[in-house]
Structure 1
Amino acid sequence: MERSNFTSEIAIFEIPGGVHPEEHKLQSNQAEIRRLPLADELVINLKGQAGNRSLPVVSVGDKVLKGQMIAECDGVFSAYQHAPTSGEVIAIEKRTIAHPSGLDDLCIVIKPDGEDTWAELSPVENLEDLSGKELSGKELSREKILAQIFEKGIVGLGGASFPSHIKLKQKDNIHTLIINAAECEPYITCDDKLLQEHAEEVLKGAEIISKLYHDIKIIVGIEDNKPKAIEALDSARKSLELDSIKLGIVPTKYPSGGEKQLIQLLTGQEVPHGKLPADLGLVMHNVGTCFAIYQAIALGKPLVERLVTLTGEACQEPGNYWIPFGTPVHHLVTATGSTNPKRLIMGGPMMGYELPNDQVGIVKATNCIIMSADGELGMDKTALPCIRCGKCMDACPASLLPQQLYWHAQADEFDKAEEYDLFDCIECGACAYVCPSHIPLVQYYRYAKSTIRNNRIEKSKAEKARERHEARQERLERVKREKAERHRKAAEARKKAAAEAGKKDAKKAAVQAALARVKAKKEAQKATDDNQDGES
């Protein structure tokens, strides 16, 4: 692909490892952004973002408007869901979801009415006052902006779909905002096209984010294989008079768009093991997220659609399209005139996964659908034994030992895999790409990670069960002790009462005896007196 002649405005550093796969981006980045006709039904997955499943607030038969909330968040680590179009809720049931497992999960199914009528929108007013001088006013505005981002269902659109308001909550010691426009994975061009056609809105979104912090600098990190996007950014920056925003143009190498890798490229800093970018004073957001935040704040629009790259040799009309969430992939295939793709990959060829079928609906994390032709992605190659060549180690951008991780994951030696920093693996697939034995290394790492997480959950459940059992046993013992104590006290009370009753009875008997003696004495005296009267 063509490379930009624009010079980076900041120093660029090196990252370890990385690979240079074929880019396959010209297939989809030549046409303008388009829309497809609405699907007959939209299947909105309530677990379509990182965190907890959303909870439905509509019922079957309800009429909904575009942008109306249909599912509320379940705790802070969750996201609201909104109707992607106006229509009727025809089902709330389990459907196959976009996930490597191919499992079913709860979905809201909406039948569009074709009107695409928006609900009432509530944009934030007086955006220019966000950076007011009074601290109290700034804090109130900050809370208002974060609440708007939260309520509009904004999540990271770079792939992780992590709720954006959580990332933005920390405000102290944050000095740099990095906008991730690298988009390093092959085939995917949605960020590239978004910048080409909507660079001003993206930069306005970045400016809104910057208002949430005090004295923060903004860097846009972008690979040099996006000359039109770089030109659009530069032009938008000048027209908006945002000269403080710097462009960091990095050499094209996969996975330069990974969060930790781009941070290292742009700042020279490495995010330590177990730490977050915020610990270094950095916060990063994808260009799509910036665009969504601009629309949520300035226009009041919730996140109901996203730009998706439709590509692959089996795709007859490759390009980038605005796709409402819940649109079945089958509709995308037929609407682009495509027929019989060999595989349907959600995401890129390096980090994406094959869909279980074409009925699943797209989610907030969906940035690309690859409709591959037979033999296009090289996924049919037979895995051979590892030859210990070490190429995977050289390619790893996280400086891990992929071969060791593979051996331990394969042998279910999860403790040893963790010792080799398994969870530092970003699952970029660079190791599998260079493997001459075609071993699906990332699948082993994902298996090990999911097993470890499940084991931790089971251990946590067992620990809680043990605590509940011990608490129950303690409660039963306490009740037993309390019951025994009550019985002891009752017995003592009865004994005391009996003793007191005995004393009373003895006293009463003594009184009765005394009375009897007095009576007997009186009777005896009377008898004596009567005898004396008789004698006389």
Structure 2
Amino acid sequence: MHIFSMKRDTKKKSIEKIDNAPLLYLSLSQHIGKPAEPVVAIGEQVKKYQIIAQGAGVMSANIHAPVSGIIQSIGKHPQAEGSMTDMIVLANDFRYEELVLPSDDVAGLTPEQIIALIKDAGIVGEGGAQFPTHIKYTLQGHKIDTFIINGTECEPYLTADYILMKEYTSQLFEGITIVNKILNASRIVLSIEEQNKDLLDVFRPFLAKTEYNHIQVKVLPNQYPQGGELQLIKSVTGKVLPRGVLPRDEGIIVSNAGTVYAVYKAVAERKPLTERIVTISGEESKRIGNLEVAIGTPISHILQSQGLSGIPDEDIVVLGGPMMGKNVVDTSAPVTKGSSGVLLFRKKEIKRNNCISCGYCVDVCPMHLMPMKFEENYRKEKYSQLEKYSLSLCIECAACEYICPSDVPLIESIKKGKQKQREINN
């Protein structure tokens, strides 16, 4: 499906940094799996890069202090959409004290040592899934044939990955090499969309180097949701993975460009994941650009950097992209490891109508599902019927709602339906 890009202006904006916020809110659930467990106490003084919460169990990830300061509190705090989750509140002391980080020769590291560094750094997928990266790279005997670096960034407005690939190219390519020391893939593909083919000129000097000449850049059509893992695999390799099969089991690993950059920082510089690039845009945004912000920065702080003290009554703020992002109901909620944008839009009155059975939602669904059935069964409170139509396979790309001529609340029913499923299963 083709949708309007809306990236032209922010693609021209170089990476900027804003002043760190006085208070940072570090969610203990910035990843798929169990929440991290605090390893600090209220009132404790911490330095930048210090671990403040440790991954719990197999599926979890560490969290580190993005600034130096004092642990103000540990407890419930709102997320962007209003739900409450446990967070560590860190009061910035603006002393800029950092842990002394160790250094070592990257070339001499074994795959196991690299995975350990990735785990220690708390790296998760920055494309939105927030899957702990050290788990993804633990191959358990599987042979990887194809390593795909996902630089397609198909959501409108977002240019965080684009600007990273353009300005941090050297670190990205070194990160690719580091990751492939683990994967040992025979084919490495860096994917970008047609609208970003100007990056070919940026990549060319690197691809000419002996150490990188085995990396292939594949330019894909401007389609949504091109950046979805399964959709990208099909576009790059031609393979259609069966439902329920992990890419690793088919010899494929996909990582977002931002994730690979974070691996470079963790291994080459020994720096944990404490900041990321966020696109600031939207039709009502007073200032657009690509900001490198500390993870845990409140959305309100980013709005203030645009000259806004809050959300105007006639506007809405979205954390992430306009298709898969979350409408912000509390601006004290923070940027997390998976937050790619803060977008400001004019609020629009949407008149919801009944489904007319046109089938457009089925036509555009990349997972070949029947979204209208999710809405119907959720509305009728037939929650046990949702999985009959494979609700768990929905990637929440919102293509169905985008194309719906009746503005049926498909995504709302999908997200709330999944929540009902979790409640039933628990």
Q: Which segments of 5 or more consecutive residues in structure 2 lack a partner in the other structure?
A: none
CA contact (8 A) 1:193 1:229 kept: no
CA contact (8 A) 1:65 1:87 kept: yes
Shift of residue 415, structure 1, vs aligned partner:
4.0
Counterpart of 2:367 (choices 398, 420, 425) is 398
Q: Distance in 2 between matches of 1:346 and 1:240?
A: 40
What amino acid is aligned across from residue 195 of structure 1 in structure 2? M
Instruction: Give deviations 1:460-505, integer Å, cap 9, x for gaps.
Output: xxxxxxxxxxxxxxxxxxxxxxxxxxxxxxxxxxxxxxxxxxxxxx
TM-score, length basis structure 1: 0.76
Q: Distance in 2 between matches of 1:183 and 1:301?
A: 25
User: Is 1:451 the equivalent of 2:424?
Assistant: no
Cα RMSD over matched residues?
Answer: 1.6
Counterpart of 2:100 (choices 120, 124, 127) is 120
User: Is 1:441 the equivalent of 2:414?
Assistant: no
Q: Distance in 2 between matches of 1:427 and 1:263?
A: 18
Please name the residue that 1:265 is paired with: 235
- The within-5 A match list for 1:196-345 is 196-239=166-209, 241-338=211-308, 340-341=311-312, 342-345=315-318
Q: Distance in 2 between matches of 1:360 and 1:324?
A: 13
Q: Distance in 1 between matches of 2:342 and 2:321?
A: 8
Shift of residue 35, structure 1, vs aligned partner:
0.4
User: Is 1:27 the equivalent of 2:9?
Assistant: yes
Q: Which structure is higher in helix share?
A: 1
Please name the residue that 1:507 is paired with: none
CA contact (8 A) 1:314 1:338 kept: no
Instruction: Give deviations 1:283-335, integer Å, cap 9, x for gaps.
Output: 11000000000000000000001011111122222111111011111110011
Q: Distance in 1 between matches of 2:172 and 2:182?
A: 16
Question: Larger C-alpha radius of gyration, 1 or 2?
Answer: 1
Please name the residue that 2:23 is paired with: 41
Cα distance change, pair 153–240 in 1 and its aligned pair in 2 (3 A): farther
Counterpart of 1:369 (choices 342, 348, 370) is 342
Instruction: Give deviations 1:149-168, integer Å, cap 9, x for gaps.
Output: 00111111000111100000
CA contact (8 A) 1:315 1:338 kept: no
Shift of residue 343, structure 1, vs aligned partner:
0.9
Please name the residue that 1:138 is paired with: none
CA contact (8 A) 1:202 1:291 kept: yes
Q: Distance in 2 between matches of 1:355 and 1:425?
A: 22
Counterpart of 2:329 (choices 352, 356, 381) is 356
CA contact (8 A) 2:75 2:88 kept: yes
What amino acid is aligned across from residue 122 of structure 1 in structure 2? P
Secondary structure of 1:70's counterpart equals strand
Q: Distance in 2 between matches of 1:422 and 1:234?
A: 43
CA contact (8 A) 2:79 2:330 kept: no
TM-score, length basis structure 2: 0.95
Secondary structure of 2:411's counterpart equals helix
Cα distance change, pair 388–168 in 1 and its aligned pair in 2 (3 A): same
CA contact (8 A) 1:203 1:237 kept: no
Please name the residue that 1:417 is paired with: 386
CA contact (8 A) 2:280 2:289 kept: yes
Counterpart of 2:137 (choices 165, 168, 182) is 168
Please name the residue that 2:399 is paired with: 430
Cα distance change, pair 32–26 in 1 and its aligned pair in 2 (3 A): same
Secondary structure of 1:24's counterpart equals coil
Shift of residue 60, structure 1, vs aligned partner:
1.8
- The within-5 A match list for 1:118-157 is 118-123=98-103, 125-130=104-109, 141-157=110-126
What amino acid is aligned across from residue 238 of structure 2 in structure 1? G
| Structure 1 outlier segments of 4+, above 4 Å | none
Q: Distance in 1 between matches of 2:409 and 2:202?
A: 39
User: Is 1:111 the equivalent of 2:91?
Assistant: yes
Secondary structure of 1:307's counterpart equals strand
Secondary structure of 1:326's counterpart equals coil
Q: Which segments of 5 or more consecutive residues in structure 1 lack a partner in the other structure?
A: 1-18, 131-140, 458-536
What amino acid is aligned across from residue 379 of structure 2 in structure 1? Q
Q: Distance in 2 between matches of 1:440 and 1:323?
A: 33
The sequence identity of aligned pairs, in percent, is 35
How many correspondences in the alignment?
422
Q: Distance in 1 between matches of 2:301 and 2:375?
A: 38
Instruction: Give deviations 1:121-145, integer Å, cap 9, x for gaps.
Output: 124x332235xxxxxxxxxx22211
User: Is 1:387 the equivalent of 2:360?
Assistant: no
Q: Distance in 1 between matches of 2:118 and 2:135?
A: 10
CA contact (8 A) 1:67 1:119 kept: yes
CA contact (8 A) 1:185 1:348 kept: yes
Instruction: Give deviations 1:224-244, integer Å, cap 9, x for gaps.
Output: 111333322233332464110
Instruction: Give deviations 1:438-477, integer Å, cap 9, x for gaps.
Output: 11211112222221222112xxxxxxxxxxxxxxxxxxxx
CA contact (8 A) 2:367 2:393 kept: yes
Shift of residue 65, structure 1, vs aligned partner:
0.9
CA contact (8 A) 1:222 1:248 kept: yes
Secondary structure of 1:211's counterpart equals helix
Cα distance change, pair 450–93 in 1 and its aligned pair in 2 (3 A): closer
Q: Distance in 1 between matches of 2:231 and 2:14?
A: 30
Shift of residue 416, structure 1, vs aligned partner:
3.4
Q: Distance in 2 between matches of 1:338 and 1:195?
A: 30
User: Is 1:91 the equivalent of 2:73?
Assistant: yes
What amino acid is aligned across from residue 41 of structure 1 in structure 2? L
